[in-house]
Amino acid sequence: MKTIATAYLATGIAFLIVDAIWLSTMADMLYRPLMGDKLAPQFHLAPAIVFYLIYVAGIVFFAVMPALDGGGLAKAALNGAVLGLVAYATYDLTNQATLKDWPLAVTLADIPWGAFVTVVGASAGFLVASRLG
C-alpha cells in the first residue's frame, strides 16, 4: 500500500506541475484566442480537482503499477503515452464531433500534450515508487 501511495503522490505532483505550466502558458496563446467566450470567465476548481484525482489514479493503475511489476521505466512511459493519447483524444475528438465550433488546432495541440504530460507523470511516479516504495 505504501508503494501505491508513493506512486500516486509522485505521479500527481509531477503531472500537476507540468500541466499547470502548460495551461498557464497556453491559455492566452492557444485556448483563449481560439475558444473565446466558450471558456468560463472564471476557473472552476472543484471539477479540476476531481479530474486530477481520478486521472492520476488512472496513470498509477494503468502505467505505474504494471511497470513496477516488470518492464521498468520504459513500460511506465509507454503505458503512460498510450493512456494519455487515448484519454485526451477521447475528450478532444468527442468535442470535435459534437460541438459546433471546437477548434481543430486545440485538438491537434491537446492530444500530443496529453500523451506527453501523462508520460511525465507515469515516469516520475515509477521512478519515485521504485526507489522509495
Three-point CA angle 19, 119, 63, nearest 5°: 120
What does pTM read for this prediction? 0.95
Helices and strands, number each (H, E), in the chain: 6, 0
pLDDT tens-digit map of 93-132: 999 999 999 999 999 999 999 999 999 999 999 999 999 9
Confidence of residue 51 (pLDDT cuts 50, 70, 90): very high
